[in-house]
Structure 1
Amino acid sequence: MARSVVRRHGEGLSAEQVADKIVEAERRERETGQQLGVSVDRGPYDGDPQNLTEQWVSRHVEWRRVAALMDEEGWKFYRPEQDVQGSTCAREREDRRTDALARQAA
């Protein structure tokens, strides 16, 4: 999921903007991690705090991967279609989704 979110939100971002996304993900990862040990009165629609923390950890890792890829390849802007690893993952995810929908329909 993190890779899909980053591909969607990262399209067209510059290296500087991706660096900002890394900082944001790192901050969110830290904040959600700190909330795990705090007893908070949660409503019926609040998500699982452990799941939210894991999502931000994954996004942080993915933003860092994108930044490294951009630096390595010399890209000025992130284009998901040029990201071979991300594109492969997206195709595999879509195939799994299609298979699941077909099984559900059957």
Structure 2
Amino acid sequence: MWSAEDMARASVRRQGEPLSREQVADKVAEAGRRERESGQQLHVAVDRGPTTATLGTSRSSGWPGAEWRRVAALMAAEDWPVYEPERDVQGQNVGARA
């Protein structure tokens, strides 16, 4: 069984193509925006009470913001001009857990 972290990592790796730092920064920004939107929707749902649509929903389930932030930090630390999933050692073992 995959964890939410595994699913997020797999989602990022499925991009398959090399991504520039700017493209990764855009992914981080988009994920942050979606996380904020999800948080706002959850707050509205709490005010109205849970529904089947909101039960079991979490910020990490739909948008892999933490994983995109990890990739951005990795690129900065390793001074990579582009992100290539096959170079990402931490992200390589996701399929082994399935």
Greater percentage in strand: 2
Give the structure-2-normalised TM-score: 0.74
Among 9, 19, 31, the alignment partner of 1:13 is 19
Greater percentage in helix: 1
Shift of the alpha carbon at 1:48? 5.1
Aligned residues: 88
Shift of the alpha carbon at 1:38? 1.9
In the alignment, the residues of structure 2 paired with residue 47 and residue 7 of structure 1 have an alpha-carbon distance, to the nearest angstrom, of 28
Shift of the alpha carbon at 1:55? 2.2
In the alignment, the residues of structure 2 paired with residue 4 and residue 50 of structure 1 have an alpha-carbon distance, to the nearest angstrom, of 19
2:31 equivalent to 1:25: yes
| Structure number with bigger Rg | 1
Write out per-residue CA displacement over residues 56-101 of structure 1, whole angstroms, 9 at most, x where no aligned residue.
56x111101101111111111111111010012x2xxx3333xxxx
Say whether the 8 Å CA contact 2:42–2:54 is kept in structure 1.
Answer: no
% identical equivalent positions: 54
Give the structure-1-normalised TM-score: 0.69
How large is the RMSD of aligned CA atoms in angstroms?
Answer: 2.5
- Higher RCO, 1 vs 2 (CA within 8 Å, ≥6 residues apart): 2
